[in-house]
Amino acid sequence: MSKVMVLNQKAIEEVLDMKQVIEVIEKVYLSKSTDSAVVWPMIFYEFEPGNADMDIKSGYLKENEIYGLKLVSWFSENGKKELPLLYGTTLVFDSNTGAPIGLLDAEYITGMRTGAAGAIGAKYLARKDSENLLMIGAGHQATFQIAATLIAMDNINTVRIYDAMDLDKAKSLSSSLKEKLTEKFLSRYEKGTELYDSIAKKFDANVEVVTDIKEAVGKSDIIITATPSRKPMIMKEWVKKGTHFSCVGSDMEGKQEIDENIFKSARVYVDDIVQAIKVGEVEIPIKKGIVEKKDIIAEIGELVAGYTSGRNSDDDITIYDTTGIALQDLATSKLALDLAKEKGLGVEVDL
Amino acid sequence: MSKVMVLNQKAIEEVLDMKQVIEVIEKVYLSKSTDSAVVWPMIFYEFEPGNADMDIKSGYLKENEIYGLKLVSWFSENGKKELPLLYGTTLVFDSNTGAPIGLLDAEYITGMRTGAAGAIGAKYLARKDSENLLMIGAGHQATFQIAATLIAMDNINTVRIYDAMDLDKAKSLSSSLKEKLTEKFLSRYEKGTELYDSIAKKFDANVEVVTDIKEAVGKSDIIITATPSRKPMIMKEWVKKGTHFSCVGSDMEGKQEIDENIFKSARVYVDDIVQAIKVGEVEIPIKKGIVEKKDIIAEIGELVAGYTSGRNSDDDITIYDTTGIALQDLATSKLALDLAKEKGLGVEVDL
């Protein structure tokens, strides 16, 4: 008999704060680079090609004393049934005993850990004096990316939002951003504390909707792309010296968000080298022969560990290509379980 | 948000009855042979070789409208912490929507589906007039095997129990068997019904402890082996014409329960041909060149489907080598979920 904590999205939203998630994901990257983490082979199955599929990603995080899996199902017809198209479920085990310890909805955790990933790219690779953040894509992931990057960086004063597909979406995000940041992220900290005040100040950046992407790119120090795009939206000629890219959207063969030529003269980092080459933003530049595998400087964990250097000068273009790994979900799930226990949230069941 | 039913061992014991489980497992075998079921690749990881490991077995059962996985962890040091050495956890999803529907403890279900598997071997391959059942191994699995085989067959009047390692265990099982059969299996049926009476009558077979295995083998029509043995316990010369074997214990490389020479003149069936050759009872006979892969007549599902014949005469020796497949766990879990819903058992959580 085991005590298993069940955390749904509501409970997870209540316990997770982005600053802690960023710290957890940095440690995951570090564990991966120091071989104290293992990613197991992914299982992927298409029930109906192009219409319904599922994958199981699993792994072991020695330092967090957990292993487990995340199963994500995508059923394109669910909209007609008024059900979500995606279901994500995470199951966590204690690696000291093998006992199941947690069952969690994966959606909000995926948002948090992906936001943290983009921000960690900026933290380790962007210029410290970066003031202008350009968010490409105004979908579900955008708020997580903006919140995390504002928290991870110290000098951002302008956030620009661009959406190639849907200007109204960009406008709507822009007008609701402050409220969302306050409600979903700032409210996790205690009012009156130094931490609260510092994050509140960071969240007070100007927010603008962008229609001329070329002009916006030219003004940006940090560009985060989180779209389902299959062709480049940002051309090399538009990019000013010293720009950092966190490419978050590409996680499947054929996806591409930025001009492959940007890679030629950029310093390129990835979260997982095998996966990035297969499905990340670096897939196309490698397939087109613009860069080779050896041109990828390192996995980000090696940068976090200090095994390799990041940007060499204020003029470098840097790219962090993140495809997302199960270890991020597991570590963030463990954080949520620990916090929920502390705060008496979630439902504990006898399994 | 999904409604997920959590079923622990207690709830599962209350809802499952062996007759229904046998029917469900027969259908699983049928689905497998008619390509409406898919087994996904197994993930196996050793945390400490020989001391702690885990595996994830997963698959899709189209007809049952489910997919999912069973994760089994084995931590040999758990005994010192007064924890179980094995933890099994099953997660079930609705294949129409991708939504998670159930989280179940896997232990009791594994017992039930394994008992059903051995009995189905007997049902399809043993002589209909079989009267003598010999159970080799008096461990946890023995009661499940005996209960299922008594239910699946019509004429068994004597159950003999042998344990090569521990005579006391055989004695203790023998003296408690009637009570266990009544309490754990018969009590699932409604008193006074025809079904109850017929099973009660079957459970009224004589029970004997056996010390002379050679003699006992010579008297047996059906022999079920469920031990962790790594060398044959039953020699070919002892086996009378017409005997059926259900070999349940071998599920790992190097395990063996019966003389490999028995295979030479037997009609051999398996649950999964790839897995059986790798880790089943048929592994050693094939490795020793006694039989070849082509000598395996069929997977049992083809027999259930009527694609192939079973025993040809009352003199045939038949062998069913079952290693266990995840689809059995998933289908039995779905049965438990359906019954629990009907009976208002289990705990439903909002995930």
A85 and A162 share one domain: no
Q: What is the CATH number of the domain that holds A220?
A: 3.40.50.720
pLDDT (0 to 100) of residue B35:
84
B165 and chain A in contact, CB less than 8 A: no
Cβ-defined contact of A38 to B56 (cutoff 8 Å): no
The pLDDT score that the predictor gives to residue B252 is 86
Looking at the structure, tell me whether residues A221 and A331 fall in a common domain: no
Looking at beta carbons, which residues of chain B come within 8 Å of A103? Answer: 4, 91, 103, 349, 351
The whole-angstrom separation of Cα B54 and Cα B57 is 10
* DSSP labels, B127-172: -TT--EEEEE--SHHHHHHHHHHHHH-S---EEEEE-SS-HHHHHH
| Residue A119 belongs to a domain | no
- In total, the C-beta contacts within 8 angstroms joining chain A to chain B are 129
Q: Which residues contact B138 (CB under 8 A, 6 or more apart)?
A: B161, B162, B163, B166, B169, B170, B172, B173, B174
SS3 A65: coil
Please report whether residue A279 resides in a domain: yes
Q: Is residue A296 part of a domain?
A: yes
Nearest chain A CA: its distance from B351 CA (Å): 4
* Three-state secondary structure string covering A216-262: HHHHCCEEEECCCCEEEEECHHHCCCCCEEEECCCCCCCCEEECHHH
Shared domain for A316 and A335, answered yes or no, is no
A303 and A186 within one domain: yes
Quick check: is B130 in a domain? yes
Minimum distance, in Å, between the CA of residue B309 and any CA atom of chain A: 33
pTM score, two decimals? Answer: 0.92
User: Does residue B119 form part of some domain?
Assistant: no
What pLDDT is recorded for position B167?
A: 96
Q: Tell me: pLDDT of B335 over 90.
A: yes
pLDDT in tens, B195-252: 999 999 999 999 999 999 999 999 999 999 999 999 999 999 999 999 999 999 988 8
CATH number, residue A331: 3.30.1780.10
Containing structural domain, residue B12: 3-109+326-350
Is residue B19 within 8 Å of residue B123, measured between CB atoms? Answer: no
Residue numbers in B near A56 (CB within 8 A): 40, 56, 58, 69
Read off the pLDDT of each residue in B274-288 and give the average, rounded to a whole number. Answer: 96
Q: Are residues A49 and A136 in the same domain?
A: no
Q: What's the structural domain count of chain A?
A: 2
Q: How far is CA A253 from each of CA A250, A256, B151, rounded to the nearest angstrom?
A: 8, 9, 53
Write the pLDDT tens digit of every residue in A306-316: 999 999 999 99
ipTM of the assembly? 0.91
Is the Cβ pair B69, A67 closer than 8 Å? no
In a domain, A118, yes or no: no
Amino acid at B327: L
pLDDT > 70 in chain A, percent: 100
Same domain, B312 and B178: yes
pLDDT of the residue at B205: 98
What is the least distance, in Å, from the CA of B173 to any CA of chain A?
24
Tell me if A29 is assigned to some domain: yes
Q: Which of B56, B65, B81, B86 to mutate to test the interface with A (most CBs of A within 10 A)?
A: B56
Together in a domain, A103 and A128: no
Whether residue A149 sits in one domain with residue A279? yes
Based on the fold, state whether residues B158 and B200 are members of the same structural domain: yes
Task: Please state the rounded mean pLDDT for residues B138-142.
Answer: 96
Residue A300 covered by a domain: yes
Do the Cβ atoms of B93 and A74 come within 8 Å?
A: no
pLDDT at A252: 86
Could you tell me if B26 and B47 lie in one domain? Answer: yes
Tell whether A153 and A250 lie within a shared domain: yes
Residue ranges of chain A whose pLDDT lies below 70 = none
Measured between beta carbons, the chain A residues lying within 8 angstroms of B105 are 1, 351
B100 near A CB under 8 A:
yes
Q: Which position has the token pair 């900290």?
A: A189
> pLDDT by residue (tens digit) across A158-214?
999 999 999 999 999 999 999 999 999 999 999 999 999 999 999 999 999 999 999
- Please provide the average confidence, as pLDDT, over all residues in chain B: 96
Same domain for B234 and B344, yes or no, is no
| B63 touches A: beta carbon within 8 Å | no
